Structure 1
Amino acid sequence: MYRRIIGVLSAAVIAVGGFAPAASAAPGPRAACPDPGPGLLHCFTAYTPVRALADGPVGWGADDLASAYRLPAEPGPDTLVGISIAYDAPNLEADLAAYRAQYGLPPCTTANGCFRKVNQQGLPAPLPAANFGWGMESTLDVSMVSAACPSCRIVVVESNTPGFADLAETADTAVRLGASVVSNSYGARESGAPLAFASHYQHPGVTVVASSGDAGFTAANYPAVLPTTVAVGGTSLARDQSSPRGWTESAWQYGGSGCSAYIAKPSWQKDTHCGKRTVADIASAAEDIAIHYTDAGGWLPASGTSASAPYIAGLIGRSGHAGTAQPPTLYAHAAQFADITAGTNDWAGAGKKCGNDYLCVAAPGYDAPTGLGVPIGLTGF
């Protein structure tokens, strides 16, 4: 469904690690998760309360995304996609059911074997404590996987805390339970502490996907910065009837990008102004995404690279190449992605913080905010 609130998130204010609440009393964007401080990972979701306005979806829905990215009619295989997340979302299955019913997607339930929710050890109980912000992130995650791959099964692995060790265990557990794609829609500024857990995001035969962050051009985010992950940036999506595609995209102003201070330059990255690993690799829509979240009153628009990463994870699952769709493969198939050449994520400096360089400004060819570009169909995977 086309957005009924246009650009409502564009006036957002960024804080370190994500959006800050709007100062106005009018409904405005706010961070789902407050900054957790050092030693913890941050969820990348912002939302706009529209309870009084929304009697149905507000934002881009599954049908819009399918049109924008030219998804095939065939639903694809029943790939198991893992969601690594902190805390519990008690209404997750019900909210997923509302989303899928709204867009005509087949049911994905515990009863039919499509949906599973476990703790970080992989057990159905006890589940962690509930958390409003991380619960919204979980809801966004499963909705985006569903929009990208209606035939995929989903396992949500919930950690007790957003600590590095706990979330590393959720990623491992998702793989142990059979996931061939694992989405991680959280992050932290890269440093020696989180990088000690890098091995948990590298599994043979598994594609690991991570959000690039929501603080614009800044230090690279972990785990997206790891060379074993597909780092996903964000775009702003708009209809454009004058283009053959019918849609246009620009770099989302808050989507993360950065040049690593720690990770060596992978052989498959050829950009020249960053001597180490550059984030991101590819991108997809991150702004004004419709979700149904009971704890916030129902339908509302959410934003963040927390939408982009699970959407790309779902597309990889749908492609039938889960596990083989690794960063080097994507770069080898660069021509299969639609290049994004407009927009900047240097929201504070209007491009000046990085000298209007490709590290913060979308440009022809590879650029850090949108990577190789956005998928058009599944051939890039």
Structure 2
Amino acid sequence: MATAATAGAATPAGHGQDYKRVCSVAKPGFAACNALERTNVVQKMALSPNATPDGYGPSDLTSAYNLPTDGGAGQTIGIVDAQDDPNAASDMAAYRAQYGLPACGDGCFSKVAEDGSTNYPTADSGWAGEISLDLDMVSAIAPNAHIILVEATSANMDDLGASVNEAVSLGAGFISNSYGGSEDSSDTSADSQYFNHPGTVITASAGDDGYGVEYPAASPGVTAVGGTSLSQDSSSRGWSESVWGSSSGGEGTGSGCSTIEPKPSWQTDADCSGRTVADVSAVADPNTGVAVYDTYGASGWNVYGGTSAASPIIASVYALAGTPSSGSNPASFPYANTGALNDVTSGSNGDCSDYLCTAGSGYDGPTGLGTPNGTAAFTG
């Protein structure tokens, strides 16, 4: 995987000073996390009585995506990130307590290094924000699932990939990866080494820099997750979504046509001979973002976005849908039941003149086949 040259810059990005990336610029051969933190929301370590956090909470997300509020029992969801978050467990506990979700102590949550030990890597405040976002989104969507956080020694693809393999070995059937970098010729080798786990759900965020393809979202063994802007409205659904991005490009969800990966048999879009990104999508716009609680390098409650929010949401929806059949590729499941998705038909994330960066009826690059409407599209 080549350098993510612009992914992960720890500077404000888009919309003036409205949000910033939480992870630093990726060095050559490394990935960057795709989490964005609002800068125009006052962080709060504690809330006054009867106050609620800014940003969407669990009930908003389950309403928007027509999901059960008590799902995930019997499933194990893996989260793969780089570096250590010393406050991961306590921050997640504060999030769950705020929203009345079941406590997640021994037997529910575990944290390991990429070799499965408790010799955790060096702590990093940027990746800690990413970890809080991931754990809070799993808690919101699948509150009764078991959660395994695997912390890679670094954001190098070999360390992150080894952490995916470790999550599988520890029994995670659903694994979220909220990071990415530019494609290069080594990606097909990484596919076979790290992302070839039939019968296991692996999701990856499509990126936060607008039109363009990131890896590992482009891997054929991975469900590539794009991002939307999510708003409440007066429709029968009660919510509406559009592409997170702008026609000028440079910000918003990633999408496009892979120059490295072959086209999977279950993708049939006409203008891309390779793997097309994304497959499905969920909320990612930090301006319509989610509430997150993070105290390692941050000051409690804030609003986060980025396709780092969308990836664990979709991994958790798969967990609600049930265990995939042995040998299956869960990335193909939504293509067999497109009617069980909310088709996103407006917005764009760049200038490419076709569906690869512009939403329309049916499949498009930025949002894939759409967003969850229940769980039926996520079971084989």
TM-score by length of 2: 0.89
Q: Provide Cα deviations, 1:193-245, integer angstroms capped at 9, x if missing partner.
A: 34421121111321111111111102x1111101111000001100002x100
Distance 1:342 1:19, change over 3 A: farther
Residue identity over aligned pairs, in percent, reads: 43
2:367 equivalent among 367, 370, 373: 370
2:237 equivalent among 245, 254, 277: 245
1:75 is the counterpart of 2:75: no
Q: Distance in 2 between matches of 1:370 and 1:332?
A: 16
Q: Distance in 2 between matches of 1:135 and 1:33?
A: 9
1:94-173 equivalence runs, <5 A = 94-109=90-105, 111=106, 113-124=107-118, 126-173=119-166
Specify the SS of the correspondent of 2:160.
helix
Q: Which residue is equivalent to 1:5?
A: none
1:217 equivalent among 211, 217, 220: 211
Q: Distance in 1 between matches of 2:216 and 2:179?
A: 8
Specify the SS of the correspondent of 1:225.
coil
Structure 1 position 43, deviation (Å): 0.5
Q: Distance in 1 between matches of 2:210 and 2:137?
A: 22
Distance 1:58 1:260, change over 3 A: same
Specify the SS of the correspondent of 1:214.
coil
Q: Distance in 1 between matches of 2:316 and 2:324?
A: 9
Distance 1:166 1:246, change over 3 A: same
Specify the SS of the correspondent of 1:192.
coil
Specify the SS of the correspondent of 1:249.
strand
Specify the SS of the correspondent of 1:140.
helix
Partner letter of residue 360 of structure 1? Answer: C
Q: CA RMSD in A?
A: 1.8
Q: Distance in 1 between matches of 2:42 and 2:340?
A: 42
Structure 1 position 334, deviation (Å): 1.3
Q: Is the 8 A contact 1:337 1:374 kept in 2?
A: yes
Q: Distance in 1 between matches of 2:283 and 2:40?
A: 20
Q: Which residue is equivalent to 2:22?
A: 32
Single out whichever of 47-56 and 83-92 deviates more from structure 2.
47-56
Runs of at least 4 residues off by over 2 Å: 18-24, 49-56, 72-78, 193-196, 321-325
Q: Distance in 1 between matches of 2:174 and 2:376?
A: 17
Single out whichever of 333-342 and 168-177 deviates more from structure 2.
333-342
Q: Which residue is equivalent to 1:358?
A: 355
Q: Is the 8 A contact 1:289 1:303 kept in 2?
A: yes
Q: Distance in 1 between matches of 2:337 and 2:191?
A: 26
Partner letter of residue 88 of structure 2? Answer: L
Distance 1:119 1:18, change over 3 A: closer
Specify the SS of the correspondent of 1:380.
helix
1:306 is the counterpart of 2:308: yes
Structure 1 position 35, deviation (Å): 1.5
TM-score by length of 1: 0.89
Q: Provide Cα deviations, 1:85-134, integer angstroms capped at 9, x if missing partner.
A: 1000010101101111111110112x2x100000000112x100000111
Q: Which residue is equivalent to 2:290?
A: 289
Q: Which residue is equivalent to 1:344?
A: 348
1:183-332 equivalence runs, <5 A = 183-199=176-192, 200-218=194-212, 220-241=213-234, 243-253=235-245, 254-287=252-285, 288-295=289-296, 296-322=298-324, 324=328, 326-332=330-336
Distance 1:97 1:74, change over 3 A: closer
Structure 1, unmatched stretches of 5+, are 1-14, 347-352
